[in-house]
Structure 1
Amino acid sequence: YRGNKVVLKGTVVRSTLVGMKKKEGEFIPVYEIAVAFDEMSDITKEKLTALIKSLEDEKGP
């Protein structure tokens, strides 16, 4: 799922700056966020689940 996008609608209920990441000589803020998602279709739920799984696999143990 790397590079793929899932369009979601919702409200950010919390955001916390957890650090900065350097990319191509530029520092980019990294946030941890919590979102209350609006209702989504079964297809969108499947895509979101697959995206989360791929990120977990990429992160490793």
Structure 2
Amino acid sequence: MNNPDQPGFDRHMLEALVCPVTHATLSYDAARQELVSRAAGLAFPIRAGIPIMLVAEARQIKAD
């Protein structure tokens, strides 16, 4: 079930997902359609509402 604020991604799914590298919690970046693991410094893309949890597909991010 999609709503206009969350196109294609069910935020409740976020509760069940963890970083595949560190097993840390993820945060949802709606603007970029990514799940962010600050612990690993990686952002995993969400394509067509499906999180792509592969390290090879992740974007490296700078630690804040």
Scaled to the shorter chain, the TM-score interval is under 0.3
Between Structure 1 and Structure 2, which shows a larger proportion of strand residues? 1
Question: Which of these two proteins has the greater Rg computed from alpha carbons?
Answer: 1
Between Structure 1 and Structure 2, which shows a larger proportion of helix residues? 1
What TM-score, normalized by structure 1, do the two folds share? 0.18
What TM-score, normalized by structure 2, do the two folds share? 0.18
Q: Which has the higher contact order (CA 8 A, sep 6+)?
A: 1
